[in-house]
Every structure is written in C-alpha cells, then in structure tokens.
Amino acid sequence: MEKPIKTWEYLDYANNPSRLEYHTDKLLRFDDGFYKNKPASYSIKEFISYSYCLTNHFKEGPILKYLVKNHVFDHSQFNEKDDKYWRFWKYLDLSKLPTLTYFPTPKYNFQTLIELSPEGLREGYFKFISAENPKEKMFNNNRRLDNFFFDGPQIPGLLLEDRIKMRQAIFDVLDPASGFSLKDSFPLFDHTKIPAEKWEHSDDGGFSGEYLELCSDRITSGGWSNPRDGGSSDVSFEEFWTRRIHPNNGKFKAAYTKIFEFLENAILKED
C-alpha cells in the first residue's frame, strides 16, 4: 500500500485509538474494532459532504480545512450539496467560533446539552452519580458544523433563542465570499404553532403495538407489549424536516404527511 500523504490519529466515539489516512484519491479509516484488519475507504468528495462525523468533533474540522486547502478537486463532478459543503469549509474560520453551551428542554428530567466551540460541535447529557457528586457532563454524540448549519440540531428541545444564537454564531465566522446567507441554514420552527397529536397502530387489539407522537418540541416513536413499555426514541423537528425521516412509514404514512404540514406552517418567515 502506498504511503499516505497525511495521517490523523484520534479517539473514536467509544474512546478507541483510530486513525484516518489521506491518500491521493481516497481516505482510509482504521480502528481497533470492525475496521482493524480491513480499513473503511471513502472518496475525498464523499467525505467533504458526509452527513455524519467520521472521526470526532475536534478532529473533523481541521481535517476538512486541510483537504479543502490542499486536495485538487474536480468541481465539474460536484453536485449542489458537494459545492455548498466545500464552500462552507473553505470559508469557515474555526478559530473565531465562540464557546457556547445550551440546554434543551429536558424529557423525564433527563438534561441534555449541546456545546459549540472552536473545536467543533458535540452533544451530551448530565449523568447523575451520587449525592456527593450529583452531576457529571458526558458527551455521546459528535456533530459536524456543516451538518448543524444546513440541517439543524439533531438533539430535540433546543429553545428558539438558542437555535438563533448558534446558527448566527456559525454564520458570523463564514467569510462573505462563501456566498451564504442565513436562508441557506436550517429553518427556524415556532414550537408554539405545532399541535400535540398521537397516533397508534396495533395488530392484536391493543395488547402490543407502536405509536408516533408529535410533542411540543420533538417527535417521539415507540411501542409497547402489555404490560411492558417497549421504549421510545426522539427526533428533532429539524432532523425530521431536512432529512425527511420516515420510520414506520407504511403504518403511519398519513400521520407523517400531517406532521410535515404542521412543520411547514410553523416555519418562521425571515427577511
């Protein structure tokens, strides 16, 4: 195998040693888990517009800045998404990002948090340890700044004023030469305009089933098997809207159509 042009070492989401190698036409990711013996391969263009954080929150940004500056891209092969993500990293000044921490509205007294800094963006929660040490900040999700700017927060319940501040903070460190305006960023939803509704589906008369719930600040899907709760998962309005998420689409097709209508009517009009 050819010698890499550059190598970045980092700890992955599970705190395992990993590395990313930059070769002439690809990136190779090695870790101590699944890709230990056979690295995962990504094209450079694929990585530029990747929808998730491939490395970790403080390594991803500098890698992207390096590639945009040093790799020779064939822009004739770019689609609209490739172009806007490339422009985002070319004209973003990571060093000027402020350090901001916000606390979305909790669910079941489970306090989550989202943190923006010159290192990047990450999401987490407070872990309750003991009476002597009641809270410890834990981070469980690395996010890319481009994904946040274009698609919005994945973590539900972020207050409107905090969404406005985070979006503005990223926009403020984008050089005007990027050609972006705030209209290129994720839409702002007015949660007060979104009604609460719940839909359920069962094939056995209600003994077990699945449900979809539109709440004031999130969308929840889950299930039950009497008398047990089958668990649930939450999705932010922004992630649902920008990525067109359709879990259990066949069972709740009409409900999802209705939710999209509610969200569209709740988008704040901006100048």
More confident position, 22 or 127: 22
Average pLDDT, the chain: 90
What's the rounded Cα separation, in Å, for the pair 145 and 16? 23
- Given 167, 184, 201, which residue is the final one in a domain? 184
Same domain, 180 and 215: no
Least confidently predicted of 63-67, 75-79, 139-143: 139-143
3-state secondary structure the chain: CCCCCEEEEEECCCCCEEEEEECCCCEEEEECCCCCCCCEEECHHHHHCCCCCCCCHHHHHHHHHHHHHHCCCCHHHCCHHHHHHHHHHHHECHHHCCCEEECCCCECCECEEEEEECCEEEEEEEECCCCCCCCEEEEEEEECHHHHHHHCCCCCCCCHHHHHHHHHHHHCCECHHHCCCHHHCCCCECHHHCCCEEEEECCCCCCEEEEEEECCCCEEEEEEECCEEEEEEEECHHHHHHHCCCCCCCCCHHHHHHHHHHHHHCECCCC
Among 24-28, 121-125, 129-133, 173-177, whose mean pLDDT is lowest? 129-133
One domain for residues 146 and 112: yes
For residue 129, name the pLDDT band (cuts at 50, 70, 90). low
Range of the domain at 55: 6-92
For the full predicted model, state whether its pTM sits above 0.95.
no
Q: Does residue 143 sit in the same domain as residue 177?
A: yes
Q: Report the alpha-carbon distance of residue 267 to residue 18 in Å, rounded.
A: 41
- In this structure, are 165 and 198 located in the same domain? no
Pair 162, 109 in one domain: yes
Residue 108 domain flag = yes
CA dist list (Å): 137 to 98, 125, 129: 19, 6, 11
Q: Is residue 116 part of a domain?
A: yes
Stretch among 32-36, 152-156, 224-228 having the lowest mean pLDDT: 32-36
Highest mean pLDDT among 34-43, 160-169, 251-260: 160-169
Question: Do 113 and 155 belong together in one domain?
Answer: yes
Domain shared by 76 and 62, yes or no: yes
Q: Does residue 61 lie within any of the structural domains?
A: yes
Asked whether residue 255 carries a pLDDT value surpassing 80, the answer given is yes
The region that residue 179 occupies, defined by phi over 0 for left and psi between -120 and 50 for alpha, beta otherwise, is left
- For a pLDDT cut of 90, what percent of the chain falls above it? 69
Domain end marker among 184, 213, 239: 184
Let me know if residue 270 belongs to a domain: no
pLDDT tens across 169-181, in order?
999 999 999 999 9
pLDDT for res 246: 65
Among the three residues 184, 213, 232, which one is the final residue of a domain in this structure?
184
Residue 125 in domain? yes
Residues 115 and 167 in one domain: yes
271 lies in a domain?
no
- The pLDDT confidence band at residue 131, using thresholds 50, 70 and 90, is low
Name the nearest CA neighbour of 151 among 78, 215, 241, 84: 241
> 61: pLDDT confidence band, cut at 50, 70 and 90?
very high
Predicted pLDDT at 107 = 75
Q: Is the pLDDT of residue 130 over 90?
A: no
What is the pLDDT, as a whole number, of residue 259? Answer: 94
Residue 249 has pLDDT above 70, yes or no: no
pLDDT of 190 reads 96
pLDDT tier for residue 43 given thresholds of 50, 70 and 90:
very high
What would the two tokens of residue 17 be?
């040693």
What total of structural domains would you count in the chain? 3
User: What band does 74 get if pLDDT is binned at 50, 70 and 90?
Assistant: very high
User: Are 86 and 118 within one domain?
Assistant: no
Mean pLDDT along residues 241-246: 77
- 169 and 230 in a common domain: no
Average pLDDT over residues 53-64: 94
Examine residue 1 and state whether it is found in any structural domain, yes or no: no
Q: What is the pLDDT of residue 12?
A: 79
Q: Are residues 23 and 11 in the same domain?
A: yes
200 domain residue, yes or no: yes
| Same structural domain, 86 and 116 | no
